Amino acid sequence: MQAGVLRFGEFKTKAGRLSPYFFNAGLFDDGAKLGRLAQFYAQRILGSGVEFDMLFGPAYKGIPLAAAVAIELARLGHNVPYAYNRKEAKDHGEGGTLVGAPVRGKVLIVDDVMSAGTAARESIALIQAAGATPFAVAIALDRQEKATEAGQDVSWSAVQYVRERLGLHVCSIANLADLLRYLEVHAGDSLGKHHQQVLAYRDRYGAG
């Protein structure tokens, strides 16, 4: 809320839904904001107990996130390598689509949100092609929302798909249930008016 990353109103999602809230991680746009976010990622990752050998940041938003989280983990005594991908393969210099440390071992993917799981599937393919194991995903917000396939709603969320069908661990800093609790706490001020809209949206599109 302080950074304007979380906003309320009417926003059209990629799935064509009108969402009463919008989360834009691109607005963690200075050192202090990004550093604070990295602290929350690191705390959540270490608190989850998930084992990993390195971080991977999917282009584009995942790149600064993975770098910032790697710095924070090192500050906490957990120094691990990180890598990221280019959207287009480089045909000069070192070439290829992967940049940073060699992609090896159990890889933890760091991204902002998970909507349809498309970015996660792309990262998984890149990691497997490098001979490593995609093992976990860390995200800032789990919308806990039904995914879509071929334009149709399905019963599971993108996070559930990645966790249950692709077999990866998923940890999130916050989720839709946290957001609803936050709005309940602020029922007496201007934020409280958004509670019913977000609740109605969850009732319509929430995943079981």
Q: Which helix (H) or strand (E) holds 40?
A: helix 31-48
The one catalytic residue among 92, 169, 186, 193? 92
What's the rounded Cα separation, in Å, for the pair 164 and 207?
14
Look up residue 175 and give its two tokens. 């989720």
90 is catalytic: yes
40 CB burial (10 A radius; 0-12, 13-18, 19+): middle
Instruction: State the catalytic residue, choosing from 90, 169, 193, 194.
Output: 90
CA distance 191 to 182: 9
CA distances from 169 to 38, 108, 126, 153 (A): 19, 9, 18, 23
DSSP state of 201: H
Q: 6, 17, 50: which is closest to 152 by C-alpha?
A: 17
CA angle 208, 175, 147 (to 5 degrees): 45
- In this structure, what token pair is assigned to residue 62? 């995942």
Is 92 tagged catalytic?
Answer: yes
Task: Catalogue the active-site residues.
Answer: 90, 92
